[in-house]
C-alpha cells in the first residue's frame, strides 16, 4: 500500500467542478463567528458536491485570508451567497421545495440516526452561532431540528465538525455515491 499522488486522485479543476451536477443540498451558516469554521465548511461542501452555501448575519465572506486557510481554494469552486437575514433565505428555499433542517438541540429535536432522509428531496441544513445556536426565527420556519448525539460534558460540537457529520449522514442515507 502507498499514499496516492495528487494527480492520481483525478479531481476536477475548478471550472470543471462548477459544471458538475450538484447534490440537492444547501447549507446555511447563521451568524458564525469563526472564519476557520466558514473555510472548513467550504472545503467539506466541495468534497460532497453541495449545491450552495449561504453565509448569513455576521458570518464572514470570501475573499478572506482567514477563511482561505481552511478552505484551501474551495471558495473558488463552491457557489455561495450572502444575506443579512438567514430567515429570508430559509423562507425562499422552503418556497422552492427544500426541506429545512436545523442542526440544533430543541424540545422536539430528532436524534440524527433516527432522522430519515429521502434521496428525492431537496434539503437545506442550517448551522448556527457557536454560542447561541440557530436563530429562533429560523427554527420557527424549520421542518425539523436534528441533534447529533453526544456523550461527554460539552453541549455541542464545533460547527465545521457538525457540517461534516451531517453531510456524511446525508450521503450515506441517500446513497449518493
Per-residue model confidence (pLDDT) at position 7: 86
* 146: enclosing H helix or E strand: strand 144-147
Q: Residue 66 domain-assigned?
A: yes
Residue 29 near residue 55 (C-beta atoms within 8 A): yes
- pTM recorded for the entire structure: 0.95
d(C-alpha 61, C-alpha 72), whole Å:
15
Per-residue model confidence (pLDDT) at position 103: 98
Give me the domain span that covers residue 151: 20-174
Which residues have C-beta within 8 Å of that of residue 107, sequence separation ≥ 6? Answer: none
Count of residues making up the chain = 177
Per-residue model confidence (pLDDT) at position 45: 98
Per-residue model confidence (pLDDT) at position 6: 84
How many CA atoms does the CB half-sphere of 9 hold within 13 Å? Answer: 8
Residue 176 in 3-state DSSP? coil
Angle at CA of residue 21, ends 19 and 23, nearest 5°: 135
3-48 tens-digit pLDDT: 999 888 888 988 889 899 999 999 999 999 999 999 999 999 999 9
Phi and psi for 166 in degrees, rounded to 5? Answer: -65, -45
Q: Residue 3 domain-assigned?
A: no
DSSP 129: B
Give the chain's domain count: 1
Q: Residue 2 domain-assigned?
A: no
Report residue 55 as a C-alpha cell.
453565509
Residues of the chain with pLDDT under 70: 177
Per-residue model confidence (pLDDT) at position 177: 63
Q: What is the CATH number of the domain that holds 120?
A: 3.40.1280.10
Amino acid at each position: 500500500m502507498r499514499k496516492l499522488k495528487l494527480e492520481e486522485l483525478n479531481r476536477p479543476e475548478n471550472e470543471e467542478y462548477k459544471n458538475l451536477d450538484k447534490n440537492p443540498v444547501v447549507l446555511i451558516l447563521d451568524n458564525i463567528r469563526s472564519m476557520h469554521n466558514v473555510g472548513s465548511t467550504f472545503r467539506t461542501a466541495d468534497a460532497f458536491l453541495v449545491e450552495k452555501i449561504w453565509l448569513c448575519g455576521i458570518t464572514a465572506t470570501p475573499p478572506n485570508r482567514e477563511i482561505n486557510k481552511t478552505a484551501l481554494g474551495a471558495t473558488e469552486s463552491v457557489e455561495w451567497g450572502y444575506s443579512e437575514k438567514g430567515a429570508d433565505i430559509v423562507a425562499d428555499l422552503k418556497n422552492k421545495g427544500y426541506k429545512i433542517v436545523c442542526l440544533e438541540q430543541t424540545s422536539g429535536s430528532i436524534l440524527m440516526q433516527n432522522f430519515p432522509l429521502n434521496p428525492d428531496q431537496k434539503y437545506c441544513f442550517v448551522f448556527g452561532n457557536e454560542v447561541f445556536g440557530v436563530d429562533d426565527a429560523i427554527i420557527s420556519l424549520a421542518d425539523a431540528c436534528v441533534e447529533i448525539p453526544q456523550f461527554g460534558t460539552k453541549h455541542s460540537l464545533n460547527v465545521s465538525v457538525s457540517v461534516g457529520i451531517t453531510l456524511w449522514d446525508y450521503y450515506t442515507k441517500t446513497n449518493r455515491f
